[in-house]
Structure 1
Amino acid sequence: MQVLGRRLARAINAEEGELGAVLAAFALFFCLFAGYFMLRPIREAMGIAGGVNNLQWLFSATFVVMLLAVPLLAWLNSNVPRLHFIDWVYGFFCLNLLAFVLLFRLDHESVWLARVFYVWISVYNLFVVSVAWSLMADVFDGAQARRLFAFIAAGASVGGLCGPLLSSVLVGSLGESGLMLLAAVLLGLAVALKRYLMRWREQAGAGRPGAPSSENPCRPVPGNPFSGFTRMLGSRYLLGIAAFILLLTSVSTFLYFEQARLVAELFPQRAVQVRIFGIIDFIVQAGALVTQVLITGRVAQRLGVRVLLSAVPALVCLGFIGLALAPTFAMLAGLMIVRRIGEYAFVRPGREMLFAPLDAESKYKAKNFIDTVVYRGGDALSGWAKAGLDMLGHGAWLVAMVGALCAALWGALGWYLGGRADRQTRV
């Protein structure tokens, strides 16, 4: 058994004593993403049920909810020890899921309930994933992040692979409310895994001797409810990460709106839409998993974070140019799949590596502000920008060319930020 453990540790670049924590982190992301990706096809179908022409309003509503929720989360972070912070956040979302189970059993066809669920799950996804990556940046240091984050992110891909399959197979028997209940159970398992990781941090992991008292997980993170915002404004590095996120969301939103429009035209029934989105999610997660296991870690170690953060935008830029020349559903679906595989396998692990060397306030508060308010703000702005471009009447060609420009800027900024992270790690 020990021999098997050593071989597994070598295979995933884990050093002595790290294997248990890495596997727990892998499992935590599996639980989060399996639960979310069971619900994602339902979200996409409900976005269509609420009206494709109303998607920019749903994005704007999500941004407003983020503006209200982030100060509350930051207040909680300032008053609850880091050791228990995620317990409170995930417990709250578990209760939300149970409430939706009851509501959908009472009124399955409500358009307004569909809209509320769409906004809620858009908030839910960013919060649970953001605080999970904050935990990873807290548990593992910068050098460990470079070695281990690709494998940890693979847990998200395995979960994302299983989630759409479960959704497609079980939606007929359990219904949408049954899938929500199963997602709540998985979120509860993630809480148990988080507790193990924090214990490991103190016993043998990243709880380093001599760390300042503000880094003690038994104490709340210092600052006020708005310190994440002020922290970001006071750092060119964090502002650069925020700009990187804005460009990422612009590219993603342009593609997402086109996908929603075409699926609504080609597949009018909600059950069929759920299955179509589930199939796309399955392809994305399978591709992301293979890439993470075979490629991402080697790229990070040999070529650096800058390649993780710039290679995908370069491919997306070329894809948008292809979409301008051939604006078909097949081209759009292919570009969407490439972008999402690249984001999960390269961009997400790479951008989380940017936070690993930072202090607790930056890892939790500034990072959470960027991952939620900045991210959903970018969604809302780019959603209205997409609506404005559609009003100009130039069709998919103009959207594709603007998307290509955004992707080019996104790649250039990723190259710069990744270079800074590479120099920090070498120091």
Structure 2
Amino acid sequence: MRAALCRVLRAEPHELSALAWAFAYFFLLLCSYYLLRPVRDALAVEAGTEKLQWLFTGTFAAMLALVPAFGWLCARLSRARLLPVVYAFFALNLLLFSARLDAALFFIWLSVFNLFVVSVFWSFMSDLFSAAQAARLYGSIAAGGSCGAIAGPLIAAGTVSKVGLTGLLLISAALLALTIVCIVMLGRWARAHPRAGDPPPDAPIGGSILAGVRAALSSPFLLGICGYLLCYTVLSTALYFAQVDIVREAVPDAGERTRLFASVDLAVNALTLLVQVLAFARLSTALGPAWLLALMPMLSLAGFLWLGAAPVLGVLIGFGVVRRIGEFSISKPARDALFTVVPREERYKAKNFIDTVIYRGGDTLSGWLLGGVPGLAFVAAAISAAWIALAFFLGGRMKTWTREDAPR
């Protein structure tokens, strides 16, 4: 049984326990988030594109405030203490929201929460596994998140009428608190299987508060990742604006919108799970980093051209579903695997800066620049072409998934 499991998951026997705990960790994390996501998306449709610009700006401002605070914690805490502190902080926030919920503040908070805690998760994974291990295991680990993303909407749909939004917030907080157990168990595995050349896991991550910012903006490799992520987030904002306009017109009832978003989330995450488990490791081996990173940009180029030619609900949902499946099952694990070859400080600080400030900075900038732009889908298609070029730049720098030295 163990040997068969290793063959299916492409894992070594000593990696199975870490893989199981990482799967559970990501399951709990995304289940916690997806309990609340349909509520946020329904609020966004009610707000309209005009208020979305301000909400994106507020989210970006919150990210700017959090990055130096996170850098300060990284400089003083080991990863064994850092990660529980981060998740306990967000769980406490949920308890506070359960006492009093403000719609705009909740939208901003959930947008920050989603990026921040997932970024920290993948920083930890990059710290545990080498590039070669990431190419084999990240698909299965990401599948844990997909299972959580499936379970979250199901739990929400089955319990919201009984426990209300306050109850969902409390359930989400409890799931988030359980991730700390997984962190502790993964820390034990890491001490038994240390990565060659890494500092001791119990040592503080160190460095200055803004070291991640400097690293991200001075390394050509990390700058390439910044550009790659900026293209993704600008195009996501463009698609989100199209979604707000098309869904508002096609689905006037707020309750129906929430059900539509929940159904789309469920379909996306179920299909993503299949791709993560069955295809990611095989695709990463067959294609290598460049083509794997280029799949999503190519899909986006075709999808935005399609949406520009036929801006209707069916096309929006079809393109959106395929794009999100590609992002969650292929593009994001491939992008996160790039951080396995950089030093530990950059895995946490630079990655967190890129995943939060750069991501939400792209949201904010594109929110103001793209709102009301005629022919937005065709503009997005042009950006997709630049995204393809960046994918091949990063793939060329990486060259092979087994490379262990940082491509500076």
TM-score (normalised: structure 1): 0.92
For residues 189 and 163 of structure 1, the distance between their equivalents in structure 2, rounded to whole angstroms, comes to: 15
CA contact (8 A) 2:59 2:108 kept: yes
- Does structure 1 residue 164 correspond to structure 2 residue 148? no
Residue in structure 2 matched with residue 35 of structure 1 by the alignment: 32
- Residue matched to 1:109: none
User: Which residue, 46, 64, 68 being the options, matches 1:49?
Assistant: 46
Match for residue 216 of structure 2?
232
Match of 1:191 in 2: 180
- Corresponding residue for residue 107 of structure 1: none
- Structure 1: gaps spanning 5 or more residues: 105-112
Q: For 2:117 and 2:300, how far apart are their aligned partners in 1?
A: 27
How far, CA to CA, are the matches of 2:110 and 2:194 in structure 1?
32
Q: How many Å separate the matches in 1 of 2:307 and 2:45?
A: 23
Q: In the aligned structure 1, how far is the partner of 2:382 from the partner of 2:349? A: 31
Aligned mate of 1:88, from 85, 88, 111: 85
**CA deviation after TM superposition for structure 1 residue 421, in Å:** 2.0
Q: Secondary structure at the match of 2:14?
A: coil
Query: Which residues of 2 match residues 236-385 of structure 1 at below 5 A?
Result: 236-385=220-369
- Count of aligned residue pairs for this structure pair: 404
Whole-angstrom CA distance in 2 between matches of 1:326 and 1:178: 41
Could you tell me which residue of structure 2 aligns to residue 129 of structure 1? 118
Moved more, 115-124 or 331-340: 331-340
Query: Counterpart in 2 of 1:401?
Result: 378
Moved >4 Å (runs of 4+): none
Question: Aligned partners of 2:85, 2:203: CA distance in 1, in Å?
Answer: 15
The answer as to whether partners of 1:49 and 1:114 remain within 8 angstroms in 2 is no
Query: Residue 242 of structure 2 aligns to a residue in which SS?
Result: helix
Where structure 2 has 5 or more consecutive residues not aligned to the other structure, the ranges are none
Alignment root-mean-square deviation, CA: 1.4
Deviation at 1:365, TM superposition (A): 0.3
- Which among 116, 131, 144 is matched to residue 133 of structure 2? 144
Note closer, same or farther for the CA distance 1:273–1:190 as it changes in structure 2 (3 Å cut). Answer: same
Shift of 1:181: 0.9
How much does 1:5 deviate?
2.1
Deviations 1:340-379 (A, max 9, x none): 1000011010001100111111100000000000000001
Shift of 1:273: 2.4
**What whole-Å deviation, never above 9, does each CA across 1:93-137 have from its counterpart, x for those lacking one?**
000001111114xxxxxxxx1010000000001110000000000
- Supply the AA of the counterpart residue of 1:37: Y
**What percent identity do the matched residue pairs reach?**
43
Given the superposition, is the C-alpha separation of residues 342 and 123 from structure 1 closer, same or farther in structure 2, using an over 3 Å criterion? Answer: same
Q: Which moved more, 1:261-270 or 1:401-410?
A: 261-270
Kindly indicate whether the alpha-carbon contact (under 8 Å) linking 1:138 and 1:206 is maintained by their aligned counterparts in 2: no
Quick one: which amino acid aligns to residue 332 of structure 1? L
In structure 2, the residue matched to 1:98 is 95
8 A contact 1:246–1:374 mirrored in 2 = yes
Listed one character per residue, the Cα deviations across residues 163-186 of structure 1 (whole Å, up to 9, x for unaligned) are 122222222222112111111111
**CA 1:426–1:80 in structure 2 vs 1: closer, same or farther (change >3 Å)?**
closer
Moved more, 380-389 or 67-76: 380-389
Preserved contact between residue 308 and residue 377 of structure 2 (Cα < 8 Å): yes
Q: Tell me, in whole angstroms, the C-alpha distance in 1 between the residues paired with 2:324 and 2:173.
A: 25
- SS of aligned partner of 2:346: helix
Q: Per the alignment, in what secondary structure is the counterpart of residue 217 of structure 1? A: coil
Aligned equivalents of 2:299 and 2:45: distance in 1? 29
Partner of 1:7: 4
Letter aligned with residue 260 of structure 2: I
Partner SS for 2:68? helix
Cα distance in structure 2, aligned partners of 1:300 and 1:336? 23
